[in-house]
Chain A
Amino acid sequence: MDLSLSTETVGDRTVVRVGGEIDVYTAPKLREQLVELVNDGSYHLVVDMEGVDFLDSTGLGVLVGGLKRVRAHEGSLRLVCNQERILKIFRITGLTKVFPIHTSVDEAVSATD
């Protein structure tokens, strides 16, 4: 299956819109995108997961890796997700305690810690 990615800058945040399936085959593409953004100096990321149909353990690992990368620059990685199926994965693995999860891109972009 395929993964689609697009990015957009909103203020000091970079929104990464992800669509499709994040699995062992497509996760490297997402990793590359996140690494590239951090290398280019974007440390405040919002990953919009509304278009994600499936997320497996490799995909979760890539998000965790992304979080560690931005944190090294005192940045942030926020998620936008309303899908129960995906939220459940974050809850089971305990990642709801790691990622701020928002209901909309607007909310994530204006959120402060």
Chain B
Amino acid sequence: MASELGPLRPAPEPPSTTAPPPRQGTLPEPRSGTGTAPLSVLLVEDDPADALLIETLLADSGLGARPRWASTLADALLALRTRPPQCVLLDLHLPDARGRRVLAEVLAHAAGAAVVVMTGLAGERDGLAAVAAGAQDYLIKDRVDPDLLRRTVSYAVQRKQTEAAAAALQAERLRAEENARLARGLLPVPLLGDVPRVRVTARYRPGRSTALLGGDFYDVVEDDHGVVHAVIGDVSGHGPDAAALGVCLRIAWRTLVLSGVRGPALIRYLERITLAERAGPEMYATVCVLALHPGDPVLRVLRAGHPGLLIRSPTGVRLADPARGPALGLLAGADWTQDEVELPPGGSAVLFTDGLCEGRLGGAGAARLGEDGLVALANRLTGLPGPAFTDGLMADAEAVTTAGDGFADDVAVVLLEPVPHDPGASG
């Protein structure tokens, strides 16, 4: 308690048990909120007589506060650091500092504590100035009675708490807005023709820690020739830098596709963009892009450090592992080759980011779902329509993680189902 700090001394016993007797004319107040912990108060006062007066008033106030006492600014700052109080009762005239400097130092170190400045009779103006500078309230020492002290301290603490809660709420709101903005940039509305050649089901789930937006992104664009292009990607790491690079790569991909850039050249451009736009040398990105030509069951696929894709047929699901090159931003002079994956009749392609199969399985050890586990889960959902399959797969992959505590990382899944463009023709 008080004896932990140098110049402090033990607080007086409650007045009901020993002298001094309760002051005349003050009714014993009920303790603030019966059963709650007494307020912690730091009394910063160099005059022992004044300190005793305030302690006695506090004892009579019903706040249940047993103040710790610091008689210099240095001791006050030490006390604020080691055991932050809820309220500081502060005299501005101390042996080692005076006036505005005392207040500024105490406010800077007070963190969540309410600061109530105590002035002398002639100090009304100092008190008002202190409140303007950030103190919660002020008291004129010679005019204080226990009731006024109780109200002033309680209200100051309450105001400080409200202030802190409002600030936290505001920070939370700003972060949510920022995440929403970035999420919009990462997860667009597919750019398809009036009569879409594919049905797109896209899903995104943020990781367990929503404060850390990841860099997963996807996009789908149909070009003037009816070719449907899709991309899924994952920027390493989490947070605004990863998300910003994800947005950047998605827009770059969309622009390149609309400009007619195809194949390995497109990946080389994305590599250059990654190198130019990333926030630090540790960042890299993985992507998988595919093109689906009208009436052609063969998918053209390019991979840069990204997992494979799931190929669904009406009877089952398999993992396709087409040729791949390195992730973007890792290897100087890297190159990528295009590969082909055949889509079975009535089939669909499912692009995903690795968060989908990184979920930690229950039980001992650190086993993860993995790609094989994912395929096994997917096969249990054979025959479901695209959206139900996608939702089911994400739900199942999440459910098998430990205690269902959810995906640690972001997860994006995009399912592409060709729809016969001219049902009368080849089907």
Contact = CB atoms under 8 A, between A and B. Distances in A.
Interface of A: 1, 21, 23-24, 31, 53-54, 56-58, 60-62, 64-65, 68, 85, 92-95, 97-98
A95 B326 contact: yes
Contact of A21 (B212, B330, B366, B409): B366
Contact of B281 (A1, A24, A68, A85): A68
Contacts of A98: 326, 330-331
Given A1-B366, A62-B282, A92-B306, A56 B330 contact: no
A61 B282 contact: yes
Contacts of B238: 24, 58
Nearest to B370: A85
Prevailing SS type, chain A contact patch? helix
Interface magnitude class on chain B = 20 to 34
Contact of B331 (A23, A53, A62, A97): A97
B68 to A, nearest CB: 37
Contacts of A57: 234-237, 284, 286, 354
Contacts of A53: 365-366
Given A61-B237, A95-B330, A23 B325 contact: no
B286 to A, nearest CB: 7
B367 to A, nearest CB: 9
6 smallest beta-carbon distances between A and B, as pairs: A94-B326, A53-B366, A57-B236, A65-B282, A61-B282, A93-B305
A16 B354 CA distance: 27
A62 B304 CA distance: 19
A24 B214 CA distance: 10
A61 B305 CA distance: 13
A54 B324 CA distance: 22
A9 B308 CA distance: 40
B334 A61 contact: no
Contacts of A23: 408
Nearest to A24: B238
Interface in B287-308: 304-307
Contacts of B282: 31, 61-62, 64-65
A70 to B, nearest CB: 13
B219 interface: no
A112 B286 CA distance: 31
Contacts of A92: 286, 305-307, 324
B313 to A, nearest CB: 24
Contacts of B307: 92
Interface in B405-423: 408-409
B255 to A, nearest CB: 25
Interface string B315-330: 0000000001111001
Contacts of B268: none
19 contacts: A24-B212, A24-B409, A54-B358, A57-B235, A58-B236, A61-B236, A61-B284, A64-B282, A64-B330, A68-B281, A85-B370, A92-B305, A92-B307, A93-B286, A94-B304, A94-B330, A95-B326, A97-B326, A98-B326
Interface in B115-155: none
A54 B358 CA distance: 9
A61 B325 CA distance: 17
